[in-house]
Amino acid sequence: MQQSLIIIKPSGVERGLIGKIIDRFQQKGLIIAGLKMMRLDEGLLREHYAHLVDKPFFPSLLRSMMASPVIVMCLKGKDAIAVIRGMVGATNSRNAAPGTIRGDYGMSSQENIIHASDSEENGIIETNRFFRPEEIFDYIPGNIGYIYSPDERD
């Protein structure tokens, strides 16, 4: 199984969408391996958004991500990276398809509700960046046999 680091950004927290977003992932059959609320600081965000630090919008993105506490989650599932990115939708919420989280709840590129890891490697790196090892729980939900066939559970 793959793992993905999810952040419900201040735009999702402040707009009261925490429950709706978690519900979507649970209904899909993704496994919640870790979940907590935290405040992000500039050092962590400079690491997490290292590919964007030179962009003109970076100072605004920093302020936006520190505007309130966020929810961070580690979700696990088969092909979880692609499945979750599909559920999240395009970066600019105005271009995100209806039915996706950004497409249903957002109107902005910056204030786009949620982050999700973009590769299997980043799913691991980002989970380790936001969670201590003891905050990630390796368990098999009791309903797993109704979510996957036996040969899909690797």
Structure tokens at 18: 């925490």
Instruction: Decide: is 110 part of the binding site for ligand UDP (CB under 6 A).
Output: yes
Instruction: Decide: is 115 part of the binding site for ligand UDP (CB under 6 A).
Output: yes
Structure tokens at 106: 């957002």
| Distance in Å, CB of 32 to ligand UDP, minimum | 20
Among residues 37, 38, 52, 97, which is the contact residue for ligand UDP, using CB under 6 A? 52
What's CA 111's distance to the chain center, in Å? 14
Is there a contact between 45 and 66 (Cβ–Cβ < 8 Å)? Answer: yes
| Distance in Å, CB of 118 to Mg ion, minimum | 5
Neighbour count for residue 132 (Cβ, 10 Å): 9
- The residues that touch ligand UDP, with contacts defined as CB under 6 A, are 52, 57, 61, 91, 109-110, 112, 115, 118
